[in-house]
Amino acid sequence: MDRIVTGQLLRFAADPFAGAPPAETVRHDARGAVLIAEGRIAAAGPVDEIAARAPGAARVDMGDRLILPGFVDAHMHYPQTGIVASWGKRLIDWLETYTFPGEMRLADPDHARAQAELTLDLALAHGTTSLASFGTIHAHSADAFFAAAAARGMAVAAGRTCMDRNAPEGLHDDAASAHDESAALIARWHGRGRARYAITPRFTPTSSPAQLEALGALWAANPTCLMQTHLSEQVDEVAWVRELEPWARDYLDTYERHGLIGPGALFGHAIHLEPRERERLAESGSAVVHCPTSNTFIGSGLFDCARTVADGIRVGLATDTGGGSSFSMLRTMAAAYEIGQLAGTALHPAQLLWLATEGSARALRMEAEIGTLAAGSAADLVALDLGSTPAIAQRRARAEDIWEALFPTIMMGDDRAVAGVWVAGERRI
């Protein structure tokens, strides 16, 4: 049965970073509608036009709530949900003190299942309908996440995290087991339903050249998979990589040498980049993922989003929980805005919204399926209440256009702003 969801709509006609004034890249329908048929978006636009196309369709009236594509979180760690908001450490210490012990607990498959279910339910409650998540070293961590996502109808990317050095006993593999267990997971999950496999070396400090070589070969044999890792997050980490791999021209080179760059490569953070790295990221069609709440929480540095986009590099946006301090892509957009201000660039609300939807979908090379309201995309939607708290509502009451109406929710909103969530056309919230 076809359904029509009515509300306000914002739809991108172009990339708001491409040069035109950002507000002009977006169509606003004050009275809009999305027509859903068989889990997909059949059409989106002004309500009268959409209603005329499907006169028999059942209606869900969301009033003046803003209907958007569900948010896409392009980098996170579901095994770290249990250690989110852990105090006082920077990256390497934080990994050793909180993260690795937390990931060790996923040796228990029941715990992995519970963490996966909890994380995906938290994501949905915050309006996030797709995520790219790291697992742990345990193959069953990837099984648990893919199974929980399939049960919720969600399009996700994930992979077993590979580490064969500088990792504690119990979170340690080797090049061959990383390759073989990842290959078995690809066969089991990649392309099954809405799942995509992401080959996942954690980062160069915990993956030897032999492991990166094996995973590069695996990616070459499975080129439709994604590849996710970390790059140049903290200055101390970059110095450590220089010590570990003195032959490399720079940090990116430690991946590049083994075939781990290119379309479908996702590099989390990428804050402290050399000019050569910027050039190669752009030329190769790799994506970097901005994790602003994490970058301030762990004290990593200020990612220059405007410059990175201007360099021709694909950029997605992500929570990076549990290094990030919020499950909310609204809070994440707010943090991206604040960091942009510190770098001298006020990102327009249209640009923030784009990063959290189509930009992240493009980073994941999934923009044909998620991240837009284009006909043919999955009906993964979020409806936002633009007056979800008294503080937000009073500011919105003074708004003179849709951007002024939306920006208080971007800056001050959270899961209370999420009035509805649909995944493949099914209402979940």
Chain contacts with ligand GUN (rule: CB under 6 A): 77, 91, 95, 99, 202-203, 230, 233, 294, 298, 320, 323
- Least separation in angstroms between residue 137's CB and Zn ion is 15
293-328 per-residue burial string, b: 16 or more CB within 10 A, e: under 16: bbbbbbebbebbbbebbebebbbbbbbbbbbbbbbb
Least separation in angstroms between CB 269 and Zn ion:
7
Radius of gyration of the chain (CA): 21
Residue nearest to Zn ion (CB): 268
Residue 164 interacts, among ligand GUN, Zn ion, none and using kind-specific CB cut-offs from 5 to 8 Å, with none
Residue 230 or 348: the one with the smaller Cβ distance to ligand GUN is 230
Identify the three-state secondary structure at position 78: helix
Round to whole Å and give the CA distance between 139 and 107: 10
The span of 118-126, 312-320, 327-335, 390-398 binding Zn ion (CB under 5 A) equals: 312-320
Calpha distance 365→360 (Å, rounded): 9
In the block, tokens 């978006």 appear at 41
The 10 Å Cβ neighbour count of residue 46 is 15
Please identify, using beta-carbon distances, which residue of 203 and 219 lies nearer to Zn ion.
203
CB nearer to Zn ion: pick between 268 and 425: 268
What DSSP state is assigned to residue 378? B
The DSSP code sequence of 166-180 is S--TTS---HHHHHH
Nearest CA among 356, 254, 345 for reference residue 304? 345
Minimum separation from the CB atom of position 264 to ligand GUN (A): 20
Residue 82 binding target from Zn ion, ligand GUN, none, CB below 5 to 8 Å by type? none
Rounded distance, CA 226 to CA 130, Å? 15
Q: Is 159 in the site for Zn ion (CB under 5 A)?
A: no
> Rule CB under 5 A: which of 260-279 touch Zn ion?
268
How many residues line the site for Zn ion (CB under 5 A)?
A: 2
CB of 6 to ligand GUN, least distance (A): 40
Closest distance between ligand GUN and the C-beta of residue 53, in Å? 46
Residues 148 and 117: beta-carbon distance below 8 Å: yes
- Of 102, 64, 109, nearest to 86 by C-alpha is 102
Taking contact as CB under 5 A, which single stretch among the options 24-32, 47-55, 315-323, 367-375 is the one that binds Zn ion?
315-323
Q: Rounded to the nearest whole angstrom, what is the least distance from the CB of residue 117 to ligand GUN in the complex? A: 20
Closest separation in Å from C-beta 113 to Zn ion: 21
Q: Which is nearer to ligand GUN, 230 or 396 (CB)?
A: 230
Could you tell which of ligand GUN, Zn ion, none binds residue 143, using a CB distance below 5 to 8 A set by kind? Answer: none
Between 324 and 340, whose beta carbon lies closer to ligand GUN?
Answer: 324
Distance CA 381, CA 370 (A): 9
Q: Using CB under 5 A, list all residues that contact Zn ion.
A: 268, 320
